[in-house]
Chain A
Amino acid sequence: MATMRARHKIRAPRRGLVSSQVDDFESIWATLASSLNEIFTRNASQLSFEQLYRNAYKVVLMMKGQELYDRVKELIGNWLRENVQKTVINSIIPILLQAHTAQASSEVYDQTNERREAGEKFLGVLTEAWENHQLCMGMITDVLMYMDRIIAVDQSKPSINVVAMTLFRDHVLRAKVRPDEPTTVSDLLESTILFTIQQERAGHVINRMLIRHCIQMLEGLYENVGADQNSKLYLSTFEPAFLQHSREFYEAEAQRLLEVGDAATFCKTASQRIIEEQERARTTLSLLTEPKILAVVDEVLILRHIDEVVQLEGTGVVHMLDQNQMDGLHNVYMLNARVDNKKEALTKVVSKKIVELGQEINASSFAPQPPAQPAEKDADGKKSKEKPVNQQTVSAIQWVDDILALKERFDNVWRNAFQSDQGLQSSIEASFAAFINLKPRSSEFLSLFFDENLKKGIKGKTESEVDALLDNGITLLRYIKDKDLFETYYKKHLSRRLLMKRSVSMDAERQMISKMKMEVGNQFTQRIESMFKDMAVSEDLTASYKEHIARSADPDQKPIDLEINVLTSTMWPMEIMSNANDRTLASPTIFPREIESVKQSFEKFYLGKHSGRKLSWQSSMGTADVRATFVRSNGKVQRYELNVSTYMLIILLLFNDLPDGASLTCEEIQGRTQIPEHDIVRNLQSLAVAPKTRVLRKEPMSKEVKPTDKFSFNNEFSSPFIKVRIGVVSGGANKVENQDQRKSTEKKMAEERAGTIEAAIVRIMKSDSPSSFFSSLNKMLIRRRQRKTLTHTQLITEVLSQLSSRFVPDVNMIKKRIESLLDREYLERTSEDPPTYGYVA
C-alpha cells in the first residue's frame, strides 16, 4: 500500500476555483443583489441558479459569509419596506380604518357591504404579498444555501429564511397603516377577520379560503426566531382576540336567547352553534383552536345557563317531558353532557318530574277510595258479585298500571333522547324507587297486580306478551324496598290462587317464580316454590286416595269425590286459612256425618302413609260441588249444580235433615256447625242475601245477618244456568286489606323481621372473617380461646348490608334485637368503649 500511495500523489485542488477570478466582494455582491431583486420581481427564469450559487459560494470562501448575510438581510428589509408594505397599505380603504377604530359602535353596520368588499380586497392583497414573499424567500434560501450552511455552523444567527419571515412580520404586518395613527396592518387584519367571522355567524356566506390563507400566514410567522410552536403569531395575537370576541358574541347570544325564553330554541341554536364553530375551526381557522372555542361556547352558552334553560317555565325540560319532545330533550341532553359528565341539571329536573308524577299517581290511587266498607258495598251493589274485585283493588291495580305506563314513558325518553345514559338511568330508577316507596302499600298493590293478571289479565295473551307483562311487574319489584313484605302478600295471594284454582296458567306462575328468583334471589322464592311442591304432592295424593277408595269402599255408599291439598304449615300463610282476626281455633268445625266419614277415611289413609304427622283441616278454604234438588210448589223438580264453599256445604247439608219448610236460626246453625261467627255471617249472606244465589230464604229479609234471623230452604230458587257458582261475600278474592288486616300484617311483618334480624346477627357473629386455608386451620386450633368480636357499628353495618336485598331494617329494631340476644345470652359485651360484642357459642 505504501508504494501505491507513493505513486499516486494526491493532486492539489485547482486553485483557480476561487482565486482565478479577479472579482472582489463588492462586484460579486452587485451581481447577486441585482439577481435577488430580479427574483423579487418574479423574473427568475432568466437567472442561472448555478451562477448565483457559485457567487454566494465564492463569497463564503472569501470568508465574507457574515457580511453577505447582513447584506441580504438589509436587501430583503428594503424590498419589503419599499414595495410590499406600500402595496398592502395602499390597498386599505379608509372605511376599513374607520370601521376598525369604531369597532364597537353600531354605525358601521350601515356600511357592512362596503366594509366587506374593502376587507376582502385588503386581505387578498395581503395574502398575495405573503405568498409572493414565501416563494421568493424559498428561491433565495436555495440560492444562498451555501451561505446558510456556514451560518448554521455559527448557531447564533437564524437562517436567512427565518430572518426573512421576521422581516415580513416587522415591515409589513407591524407597519403602521397611517403614519399618524397607532393602528398597524396586523390590527386591521385581525379586526377584518373577526368582522368576517361575525358576518358568517350572522348567516352570510364568506370567502373561507381567504380567511384560511390569512390564518396560515399568521401560523407561519412567529413572535421570536426560535420557531417555538407557542410563539406563532396566530396563537399569540389572533387566537386570544378571536376567543375574546367569540365570548362576547356568545354572551350576547345567550342573553338574546334567554329573553326569547324558549328552551327548545335555545338548545337547538346552541347545538347548531357548536357544529358551526367546530366546522369553522376545522375549515377556516386552525385545528388548535377547535377545543378552545368549543370550551368558550360550552362555558358561556351552556354551563352558565343550562340550569336556567332546563328550568325555563313553560318551555323547559318539564314541558318537553310533558309534550314528549324527544328532539328537544335530546338537545338538552347533548348540551348538558358537553359541560357536565353527570348531567346534573337535567338529572335533577327529570328526577323531580318523575317523583312529582309518581306522587300524583300515589295520590290518585287514594282518591277514588270509597268511604263505605267493602262488606256493605257488596250487599247493595249488584256488580260486586260478578266482579269480586272491589274498587280499592281496582285502584291498586290502576296504580301499578299507571306506574308502568310512566316507566315506559321515561324509558322511551331515556332510550331515544338520553342515549341510554347510565347515570340518568340510575337516577331515573332511584326516583321511581323513591316515590314507590313513599306509597306505604306498594308491596301489597304490586302483589295484587300480579294476582289480577295471573287470574285474568293474561287470558288470551301470547307468551311473549305475558312475559313482557311479568317483566314489567318485576321491574317495579326491583324498586320496592321491603321485599319481605311483598313476599308475604305474594304468598297470601298465591295461596288463594292455588287453593281456589283461580290461576289461569301454571306456566305463567312458574315463569313468575323464576323471574323473581333471578331478580331477588333464591332465598326469596324458596318458600313460594315449596308451595308449588305441596300442590304437586297433593295432586298425587288425591289420585292415590281415589284408587284406595275404589279398591276398599263399599259400593252402596254414595261416593264423595275428595280432592285434597296437604300443605306444609310453615310454608303457607296460615293466617289466611282461619281468615278471621282471632285465630283461636277453640272448637273445630263440626262436619256433617257424610263429610266426617270421608275425612276420617282420608286421615287414616294419610297417616298410614306418613306416620307422625298431624293433619289439621282448614274448612274455611275448600269448595264443594253439590247437586241440589229444588221441588217447586207445582211439584216440578229442578236440579242445579251448586259450587259452594266448604262452609256453605256444611250449612246446606244441615237442611237435608230438616223437614220441608222448617227453618233454623243463625244461632242454631252456628251451634250445630261451630263455624266461626265471622264466616257464618258471610256464608249465610252469600246463600240468602246475594240476589242471584238465594238458595236459602231468610227472615226477616235484610242485608244484615242477626243471630236470631231464620233461614229455610228456598225451593223456589231458580237460575238461568244449571251450574251456579256461589262465591263467598268479600272472602274469596284477593283485595286490598282493610285497616285491621293491614295492622295485623304489619305486626306479623315486624315479628318476622325481628327473627330475620336476629338470625342475621347470629350468622354474622358466628361467621369467620375472610378465611384462607391457613387461617381456618389456625382457627380450628385456637378456636376455644379466640372468639369473634365486632363493634356495635360494624355489626349494624353488616346487618344492614346483609338484609338490604330483602328490606331496609330500622336501626332501632336492630338495636333491640341485639339487646334481646344479649339478654338471652347469645351475645356478650366484650368491651364498653367502643361497644363490642362477642358470640357466646
Chain B
Amino acid sequence: MPLTFKPWPFLPNPPVMADPALKYVTLVSRDGFEFILEREQACVSGTISRMLDPKNGFVEAITGRCVFENINGVILQLVCEYFLYNHRHRNELNVEDMELPLELCLEVLMAADYLDC
C-alpha cells in the first residue's frame, strides 16, 4: 500500500494516528518473519487488539511490535492474509470464506483460537 504521509503544516505535534509507527504495527513470527500491517487490520484479532490497547500500556502497545513465540511464519502469513481479507470485506454481507491450503488448516485453527479471531 503506497504511503503518502504529509506532516501537518500548522501543528507542531501531528495527531497520534498520523504517526506511522502507531498507524502500522509489526507482527513477528517465532521464526523471524515480520508482517507490517495497519493497526486497525491487525485488531481483527481480539488478542492483538488487547495487546495493543494503549490504555493497558503493555510493551507491545508502546513499541507497536508483537512477537508471537508460538506461531511460525507460514501460519502468521495466512493469518495476516485473513486480516486483510476480513478488513477488505468488513462492510459486506455474505462474504465467501477465504481459501486456505487444506494441509495447514489445523495449525491455522489453533492460531485462530490463540488470537481469538
Min Cβ gap B78→A in Å is 12
Which of A12, A48, A135 counts the most chain B CB atoms within 10 A? A48
User: Which residue of chain A has the shortest Cβ distance to B71 in the bound complex?
Assistant: A17
Given contacts A44-B56, A48-B58, A138-B55, whether A9 and B50 have CB atoms under 8 Å apart is no
- Contact between chains at A45 and B105 (CB < 8 Å): no
Judged by a CB distance under 8 angstroms, whether B4 is at the interface is no
Given contacts A13-B110, A17-B110, whether A49 and B58 have CB atoms under 8 Å apart is yes
Residues of the A chain whose Cβ atoms lie less than 8 Å from the Cβ of B116 = 145-146, 149
Partner of A9, one of B46, B58, B62, B103: B103
- In the assembly, what is the distance between CA of A51 and CA of B66, in Å? 10
Judged by a CB distance under 8 angstroms, whether B21 is at the interface is no
Cβ < 8 Å to B, chain A residues 1-56 = 4-5, 8-14, 17, 44-54
- Contact between chains at B53 and A8 (CB < 8 Å): no
Residues of the B chain whose Cβ atoms lie less than 8 Å from the Cβ of A10 = 102-103, 105-106
User: Which residue of chain B has the shortest Cβ distance to A16 in the bound complex?
Assistant: B70
Partner of B56, one of A12, A50, A57, A138: A138
Judged by a CB distance under 8 angstroms, whether A139 is at the interface is yes
Q: How large is the interface on B (under 10, 10 to 19, 20 to 34, 35 or more residues)?
A: 20 to 34
User: Which residue of chain B has the shortest Cβ distance to A141 in the bound complex?
Assistant: B50
Total number of residue pairs linking A and B with CB closer than 8 Å = 75
- Contact between chains at A8 and B103 (CB < 8 Å): yes
- In the assembly, what is the distance between CA of A57 and CA of B47, in Å? 11
Judged by a CB distance under 8 angstroms, whether A411 is at the interface is no
Residues of the A chain whose Cβ atoms lie less than 8 Å from the Cβ of B60 = 48-50
- Contact between chains at B106 and A47 (CB < 8 Å): no
- Contact between chains at B107 and A54 (CB < 8 Å): no
Residues of the A chain whose Cβ atoms lie less than 8 Å from the Cβ of B47 = 53, 145
Given contacts A13-B106, A48-B58, A48-B59, whether A57 and B114 have CB atoms under 8 Å apart is yes
Min Cβ gap A470→B in Å is 71
Judged by a CB distance under 8 angstroms, whether A534 is at the interface is no
- Contact between chains at B57 and A44 (CB < 8 Å): yes
Cβ < 8 Å to A, chain B residues 26-49 = 46-47
- Contact between chains at B104 and A11 (CB < 8 Å): yes
- In the assembly, what is the distance between CA of A12 and CA of B57, in Å? 36
Judged by a CB distance under 8 angstroms, whether B69 is at the interface is yes
Which of B67, B69, B105 counts the most chain A CB atoms within 10 A? B69
Judged by a CB distance under 8 angstroms, whether B25 is at the interface is no
Residues of the B chain whose Cβ atoms lie less than 8 Å from the Cβ of A47 = 58-59
B79-117 to A contact mask, C-beta < 8 Å, 1/0 = 000000000000000000000011111110010001010
Q: Is the interface of A mostly helix, strand, loop or mixed?
A: helix
Cβ < 8 Å to B, chain A residues 91-137 = 135
- Contact between chains at B51 and A49 (CB < 8 Å): yes
Judged by a CB distance under 8 angstroms, whether A142 is at the interface is yes
- In the assembly, what is the distance between CA of A44 and CA of B46, in Å? 20
Min Cβ gap B20→A in Å is 21
Given contacts A45-B62, A50-B66, whether A11 and B103 have CB atoms under 8 Å apart is yes
Residues of the B chain whose Cβ atoms lie less than 8 Å from the Cβ of A51 = 69
Given contacts A13-B107, A13-B110, A50-B51, whether A44 and B58 have CB atoms under 8 Å apart is yes
- In the assembly, what is the distance between CA of A4 and CA of B57, in Å? 47
Min Cβ gap B31→A in Å is 11
Residues of the A chain whose Cβ atoms lie less than 8 Å from the Cβ of B56 = 44, 49, 138-139, 142
Residues of the A chain whose Cβ atoms lie less than 8 Å from the Cβ of B57 = 44-45, 139
Min Cβ gap A14→B in Å is 7
Which of B47, B62, B110 counts the most chain A CB atoms within 10 A? B47
Partner of B106, one of A11, A52, A57: A11
- In the assembly, what is the distance between CA of A54 and CA of B111, in Å? 12
Min Cβ gap A264→B in Å is 54
- In the assembly, what is the distance between CA of A138 and CA of B61, in Å? 15
Partner of A49, one of B50, B102, B110: B50
- In the assembly, what is the distance between CA of A9 and CA of B103, in Å? 5
Partner of B46, one of A14, A54, A57, A145: A145
- Contact between chains at B106 and A145 (CB < 8 Å): no
- In the assembly, what is the distance between CA of A5 and CA of B102, in Å? 8
User: Which residue of chain A has the shortest Cβ distance to B115 in the bound complex?
Assistant: A53
- In the assembly, what is the distance between CA of A99 and CA of B49, in Å? 49
Residues of the B chain whose Cβ atoms lie less than 8 Å from the Cβ of A57 = 114
Residues of the A chain whose Cβ atoms lie less than 8 Å from the Cβ of B102 = 4-5, 8, 10
Min Cβ gap B113→A in Å is 9
- In the assembly, what is the distance between CA of A142 and CA of B49, in Å? 10
Residues of the B chain whose Cβ atoms lie less than 8 Å from the Cβ of A44 = 56-58
Which of B56, B59, B66, B105 counts the most chain A CB atoms within 10 A? B56
Which of A9, A17, A49, A51 counts the most chain B CB atoms within 10 A? A49
Min Cβ gap A46→B in Å is 6
Given contacts A8-B102, A45-B62, A54-B69, whether A14 and B107 have CB atoms under 8 Å apart is yes
User: Which residue of chain A has the shortest Cβ distance to B114 in the bound complex?
Assistant: A57
User: Which residue of chain B has the shortest Cβ distance to A5 in the bound complex?
Assistant: B102
- In the assembly, what is the distance between CA of A4 and CA of B61, in Å? 43
Cβ < 8 Å to A, chain B residues 59-77 = 59-62, 66-70, 72
Residues of the B chain whose Cβ atoms lie less than 8 Å from the Cβ of A8 = 101-103
- In the assembly, what is the distance between CA of A802 and CA of B116, in Å? 82
Residues of the A chain whose Cβ atoms lie less than 8 Å from the Cβ of B110 = 13, 17
Given contacts A14-B107, A57-B114, whether A142 and B53 have CB atoms under 8 Å apart is yes
Min Cβ gap B49→A in Å is 9
- Contact between chains at A12 and B58 (CB < 8 Å): no
- In the assembly, what is the distance between CA of A44 and CA of B51, in Å? 12
- In the assembly, what is the distance between CA of A184 and CA of B110, in Å? 49
User: Which residue of chain A has the shortest Cβ distance to B52 in the bound complex?
Assistant: A49
- In the assembly, what is the distance between CA of A54 and CA of B71, in Å? 11
- In the assembly, what is the distance between CA of A526 and CA of B107, in Å? 102
Cβ < 8 Å to B, chain A residues 55-85 = 57
Min Cβ gap A556→B in Å is 115
- In the assembly, what is the distance between CA of A8 and CA of B102, in Å? 7
- In the assembly, what is the distance between CA of A57 and CA of B106, in Å? 18
Min Cβ gap B48→A in Å is 9
**Apart from the given pairs A8-B103, A138-B56, A142-B56, 17 other A-B contacts in the complex at a CB distance below 8 Å:** A5-B102, A9-B103, A10-B103, A13-B110, A17-B70, A44-B56, A46-B59, A47-B58, A49-B56, A49-B66, A50-B51, A50-B66, A52-B58, A142-B50, A142-B53, A145-B50, A146-B116
What are 29 contact pairs spanning A and B, CB under 8 A? Answer: A8-B102, A10-B102, A11-B103, A11-B104, A11-B106, A11-B107, A12-B106, A13-B107, A14-B72, A17-B110, A45-B62, A47-B58, A48-B67, A49-B50, A49-B61, A49-B66, A50-B51, A50-B69, A51-B69, A52-B58, A57-B114, A135-B55, A138-B56, A139-B56, A139-B57, A142-B50, A142-B56, A145-B116, A149-B116
Nearest 3 Cβ contacts at the A-B interface: A49-B58, A142-B50, A49-B51
